Amino acid sequence: MIEICALASGSNGNCYYIGNEHDAVLVDAGISTKKILLRMDEAGLQASKIRGIFISHEHSDHVHGVRVLSKRLGVPAWFTQRTLDALKFGESPELIQLFTPDKAVKIGSITIHPFLKNHDAAEPCSFRIEHDGWHIGVFTDIGEACPKVIHHLRKCHALFLETNYDTKMLWDGGYPYHLKSRVASSVGHLSNDQAFELIRDHAGPELVHVFLSHLSGENNRPEIAEECFKSLADRFNVQLTSRHTFSPLCRLR
């Protein structure tokens, strides 16, 4: 059995829970420790199971709460060396571990497979998390679907997949041109259409649950993202995550 939950997902903060009966990990801690622990409690998740916090990259919506959360729980925060260097914490978190892209890390009964992705950060990584034959992907902040993303996607049973922006909303919106170009670039974010094409064309036979994740508050709307994936409803259980609260707990058995 494995349980997954987006405690926060959006351009204003991200935190994803993956765990089983005994062990759990978080991917990113982009909201406050208070909110993370409150949402875990409301979702019926036990913070005492958490064995580590894996940080995808140094942007604030992924690291805002990591220093305090690591100390509060007494568990390591895991970074690549270049991500840690980019953060310039000064006083580093009390517990720090380093991981290397493409080298698996085993924590308790959970195996974390980190791999590089295309994003404008020092050493950005996505993660495929494995337990007892189940594979969960956390694929956000992806400028484009590179071969590594496709390789790991094909193994997944469930997936937190970036649907950051609607193309029309982005280009018609109020962002300055340079920021629009950055979001839509190969080191920016996935649009609804790009995410749709990725799972339509490359999902493996085991994929069941797709959680639309990391939606922009300015350049997307939940109903627009959902509509984009409507034609895949016969293949996948497609659900939205939220910028404001935790998503419904999903259990795979």
3-state SS record for 130-199: EECCEEEEEECCCCCCCHHHHHHHCCCCEEEEECCECHHHHHHCCCCHHHHHHHHCCCCCCEHHHHHHHH
pTM: 0.97
C-alpha span between 27 and 40 (Å, rounded): 14
Q: Convert the pLDDT of each residue in 68-115 to its tens digit.
A: 999 999 999 999 999 999 998 866 667 899 999 999 999 999 999 999
Give the residue ranges of the chain where pLDDT is below 70: 90-93
- The residue segments making up the domain with residue 160 are 2-252
Task: Give me the number of domains the chain comprises.
Answer: 1
How far apart (Å, rounded) are the C-alpha atoms in residues 39 and 247? 10
Query: Tokens standing for 117?
Result: 């992705």
Burial of 186 (0-12, 13-18, 19+ CB in 10 A): exposed
**Cβ partners under 8 Å of residue 178, min gap 6:** none
Instruction: Please list the residues that pair with 114 across neighbouring strands.
Output: 127
- pLDDT for 186: 97
Q: What is the pLDDT of residue 89?
A: 80
Q: CA 64, 239, 40 angle in degrees (round to 5)?
A: 40
- The pLDDT of residue 88: 85
pLDDT of residue 16: 99
CA–CA dist 158, 142 (Å, integer): 17
CATH of the domain at 181: 3.60.15.10
Residue 93 confidence (pLDDT): 65
Q: How many CB atoms neighbour CB 60 within 10 A?
A: 10
- Three-class SS of residue 228? helix
As given in the structure block, the two tokens for residue 85 are 């260097």
